[in-house]
Amino acid sequence: MPANKRIVITGFGVLSSVGIGKEDFWAGLKEGRSGIRPVTLFDTANLNSKTAGEIKDFDPESILGAKGLRTFDRSTRLVLSAAKMALDDAGIKYPIAEEETDSFGVSLGSTMGSVWSISEFDKEGLREGPRSVNPALFPNTVINAPASQVSIRFNIQGFNGTLSTGFCSSLDAVYYAINMINMYGYSAVLAGGVEELCEQTYKGFHKLGHLAGSRPGKEEIDCPFDKRRNGIVLGEGSVIAILEELEHAKERKAEIYAEVLGYGTSFDPMSKNIYSPKAEGASRAMKICLDDAGLASGDIGYISASADSTLDCDAMETAAVRKVFGKAASAVPISSIKSMAGETFSCSGAMNLAAAAGVLRDNFIPPTINYKVPDRRCDLDCVPNTAREAKVKNILINSFSPAGSNSSLAIGRYA
């Protein structure tokens, strides 16, 4: 990460199955509150898997007002809500004033956000014919629609980017935002991710056998690092963080939740839709991140894990941590909030970032819930079942993909 500017985080908007709003989200993590529940957005009667991290009582009108929402899909409504909450939290007035708008930007991670819209749009065209399709719904079918609507609604006329790197999308979007602040003089960027729960992606993962309980005889449970794990439980959500150049934040007298210290990324060509057991890409990303931050492995007080209750991911991350931390690996607490929120895919890195900021502010480490049966391949301190009081200075956040992408971000207390 270019070291010419200090980048801090001054606001969060969080929508997750664990809680809506950063305070409810952090309280839920402390409680070990599970957001996994029976799916209500679509019918799962003919599926073996029936649960997900579905956001309960999501009411975008209560956050955004009713105007202008009619033609937006769930992804756009989620990210618009998160963006408004983040701006409110940071104390930034909107629409952004004309004299400031060119120095604001949007950087969003999204991969499957358009799947439902594409499917429904095409379905209508095939059933009724192309002349019967509502053209107002077509913009939802492009992957950059949610990010674009954020800029339109809040009058952000600086850069607008959508990154699609799978599980790593939102951490990569944060780094893109950092680079834009460092190299092009942006004052503040809304950065994060979004992923909606929809029938098409759920059934696709189910048919592939990637969902917990989708294969005969397997229990439907979200239990990272536990020997019983057998697949992901899908989740949904949107998290937007306000990243600012430090002097801009100080000038506004903004509350600072954390400072971004470093980033690392590495592609592992040995990963072919399965996590490489050698963990070379993941360990490289972590090492690059620590070097970029100017930190030694011993400076990390907590690791926010990518582990998502799949056999390979959790074991691979364990191996990567052991490669980087050596004999001290067992002494570093690592936990997976996906045990509570589910696998939110493109949003997962940003959700881990929001959780990490809560760790710094409220001095706790969230648990890995549903942990019962130890696995010798995942023999780290996974903070089982109950949150832990702890005051840590620096946190490492991981996002690893079975397709080969690996990203890590380091944040610390602002001082």
- pLDDT band (50, 70, 90) for residue 109: very high
Query: Structure pTM?
Result: 0.96
Map out the domains of the chain with their CATH numbers. Answer: 7-251 (3.40.47.10), 263-412 (3.40.47.10)
- The residue ranking higher by pLDDT, 323 or 140, is 323
% residues pLDDT > 70 (the chain): 99
What is the average per-residue pLDDT within 51-70? Answer: 95
Mean pLDDT of the chain: 95
pLDDT, residue 139, reads 85
What is the average per-residue pLDDT within 119-124? Answer: 77
Q: What are phi and psi of 236, to 5 degrees?
A: -140, 165
pLDDT, residue 131, reads 74
% residues pLDDT > 90 (the chain): 89
Is the confidence at residue 195, as pLDDT, over 60? yes
Is the confidence at residue 122, as pLDDT, over 80? no
Map residue 374 onto helix, strand or coil.
strand
Distance of alpha carbon 49 from its chain centroid, rounded? 23
What is the average per-residue pLDDT within 161-184? Answer: 97
- pLDDT band (50, 70, 90) for residue 2: very low
What is the average per-residue pLDDT within 311-319? Answer: 97
- pLDDT band (50, 70, 90) for residue 280: very high
What is the β-pairing status of strands 237-245 and 7-16? antiparallel
- pLDDT band (50, 70, 90) for residue 209: very high
